[in-house]
Amino acid sequence: MAVEHEAQQKRTPTVVETFPVVGISCAACARSIESLSRSVPGVQRAEVNVATATVTLEYDPLEVQPADIASVLREFGYDLVQAEDTAIALADAAQREHRSLDQLKIRTIGAAIATVPTVVLGMGAWHTQRWAILLSAALSSAVVLYFGRQFFVRAWSQIHARALAMDTLVALSTGIAWGWSLVAALIPAQLRALGIEPHVYFESAATIVTFILLGRYLEQRARLQTNAALLALVELQPRSVHLHRNGVLTDTPLAAVQRGDHIVVLPGERIPVDGVVLDGQSWVDEQLLSGESLPVAKAQGDRVYAGTLNGDGALVIEARAVGRGTILGSIVRAVERAQSSKSPTQELADRIAAVFVPVVLAVAALTAVGWIVFAPDKASSLGLLSVVSMLIVACPCALGLATPTAIAIALGRAAEQGILVRNARAFDVLPELTHVVFDKTGTLTQGKPTVVHATWYVPELERRDYARLVRAVLERSTHPLSLAVAQWLNVPAAGECTVEQVRGRGLRAWNDSHTILVGNRAWMEEHSVELSAESQAAATEVFVAIDGKLLLAVWLRDSIRSDARKVVEYLRSRGTALHLVSGDRRDVAEYVAAAVGIEHVLAPALPQEKQDYVRRLRLETKGNVAMVGDGINDAQALAEADTSIALGSGSDVAVHAADVTLIGEQLSLLIVLIHLAERLRRIIRQNLGWAFLYNLVLIPIAAGALYPINGVLLHPMLAGFAMAASSVSVVTNSLRLRYGM
């Protein structure tokens, strides 16, 4: 047991990566790829997103590498695209997808050229002539076995992976129609001797393949637009940079750049890395990341970010983060992760699609038995047509594409608007919000408080030395109040100390000479620091004590965001109950709540109390609760809510704990997000409604349900056209999300 425990401790953490996959032609391919990937030792999880043609893999790097998984998938017609950089991988995958689309176009045209004379021969007056039958056999064989060979290759991979899907149905239906026709064409006399009429259906087999190839071509061409927004983000990073190394300036691929390298960015070029300006002055357009419409002045020592646009000056930059490590790279990764996450609606559709094909095969078998039992004289003709039509019309592509395609497009559209959705589940929750809980500082307010009053409790001659020590403590915190007081002190920091941050209270610092406390009134009272009675209305208090005695009291106010009241009024008009929770004093919280129009206030509140408040709302109201925050002390409440939104200006902990990040720091983006979620819900309902209606109506007709009533049967050619049209219609309907908000 000890050895086993030691082995577990030494076990390498798994790696989670997302890779583009070329060759995903329909929703059902996902289960094949997932099953094949999981069959590789060392792979613990595999999730495919059909709409974006990507697979998210969790694997043990000591047991398996992506190249091993790629080789397994390649055997079954899927190409896993590997690259060190997200931009390179996505661009490479896009190029391969376009090449694959071109090849599919050629196969479709070739199949159509061979199918037209096959249909003419099968429908013309000479369709019973021996030469016409043999020529039809040759032409349809070219269509089925050459232009449509991918269906059979994929069907074999699906059978091997025990994930029966669309290609299985297409291969079965066309294989049955073509195989039976070939037997009937080669040995008609022997079949007649057995009492079986040798009907041939070469035109049906060829037409099915052609229609499905055409539908797949149109579907894939439309689906390439799904990743347009993500690719647009990726393409903001240049593929090469001007690298200044050892006194020589050379053009170098971005993938070869390392931290610490010096890069020259010329006027009008995109900045390729996150870094610090070493030399030069310019204006940089940072609207992509900050939402600020005006360019920002940059000079020596200023931070710059990948994807932003340099103005009229040349800059020399020291690279601090490259590729996936940049802020832009983190945005791309977050969108990828969100696209790989599945909403409850999508999970339900996936479960239905997973059992759909086996059910269809069972119904097809019952259909064949029914024709043999109740109409044995027509079983080899009309019965065969019914089985083939049903196998074709029942392909679950529209059902499988209905949700993921729409979600992927919505994620890209959100990213274009400055909204980063990490968890697709947020789209299910947002249209039905019953409660929204807001943090105050940095969420409803600017998060940049200013000092309105301060009182020192030491003689003026001693203040400067104390101020330098206090500033050294405050600069170790990212809290807006700490930063505001540090700026107000307006002295350089001095002195080394150890600093501990206590959530909901403040800071504790110490060195060889002093113990320093910085925080709210409760924090001082916990340490028995005697406070003055002085106060300021609706202002936030920050006290500083040294060695147990009050040193400084500061009062700050934070200006309310200009769009906060607009957001609150919008949510109230929807009937949403609004709450404000804050670690600040109650009078300050109530002042902000009254200014924007929020009824319910909890203050002061520790992080755990914020979390408990959100939990109580969820349990007592049975509704959907959203938490909107931006700080470390909001992280627990963000994680507790049904969905969570963080402002991009907030702390890393809050941003990473949230389902959604408003990158542009505009609270009004919440309105845009809710509108998008509502449009997405309507589109998904339309898609699913069409997919279910299509199958509900056409499967019984294809099986021959109307034949006893009025002699109507669904011809396999029409079944192929209907199946292709259903998939294309779902993708096209989803693309409407790209336009209008």
Residue 525: other Cβ atoms inside 10 A: 12
Residue 49: left (phi > 0), alpha (psi -120 to 50), or beta?
beta
Distance CA 671, CA 718 (A): 45
Distance CA 644, CA 298 (A): 34
Q: What is the pLDDT of residue 7?
A: 42
Reference 534, options 516, 554, 506, 505; nearest CA is: 554
CA angle 128, 131, 135 (to 5 degrees): 105
Reference 367, options 703, 39, 38; nearest CA is: 703
Q: What is the pLDDT of residue 3?
A: 39
Give the pLDDT means over successive 10-residue stretches in the chain (741 positions). Answer: 41 78 72 85 86 82 90 85 65 75 92 91 76 92 93 80 71 83 87 74 82 76 60 74 86 87 92 92 73 68 88 90 80 62 62 72 83 76 76 70 79 84 85 93 81 92 91 84 89 86 82 90 90 80 93 88 94 95 84 93 85 91 89 70 80 60 84 95 90 84 83 75 78 84 61
Structural contact between residues 24 and 50, judged by C-beta atoms closer than 8 angstroms = yes
Residue ranges per structural domain of the chain: 239-325, 424-446+560-658, 450-557
Q: What is the pLDDT of residue 445?
A: 86
Residue 277: other Cβ atoms inside 10 A: 21
450-557: CATH topology: Calcium-transporting ATPase, cytoplasmic domain N (3.40.1110)
Write the secondary structure of 204-239 as one string of H (helix), E (strand) and C (coil): HHHHHHHHHHHHHHHHHHHHCCCCHHHHHHHCCCCC
Reference 295, options 282, 309, 284; nearest CA is: 284
Distance CA 659, CA 667 (A): 15
Structural contact between residues 737 and 410, judged by C-beta atoms closer than 8 angstroms = yes
239-325: CATH topology: 2.70.150
Q: What is the pLDDT of residue 139?
A: 95
CATH tag, 424-446+560-658: 3.40.50.1000
The answer, as to whether pTM is greater than 0.75, is no
Distance CA 669, CA 290 (A): 13
Distance CA 572, CA 301 (A): 45
Q: What is the pLDDT of residue 8?
A: 43
Q: What is the pLDDT of residue 509?
A: 92
**The total number of residues written for the chain in this structure:** 741
Q: What is the pLDDT of residue 230?
A: 61
Catalytic option among 167, 274, 428, 439 = 439
Distance CA 337, CA 418 (A): 17
439 classed as catalytic: yes
Reference 390, options 53, 82, 701, 680; nearest CA is: 701
* Cα dist from 337 to 55, 131, 341, 495, 688, whole Å: 10, 58, 6, 44, 24
Structural contact between residues 470 and 489, judged by C-beta atoms closer than 8 angstroms = yes
Q: What is the pLDDT of residue 126?
A: 77
20 preceded by cis ω (within 30°)? no
Q: Report which DSSP code applies to 452.
A: E
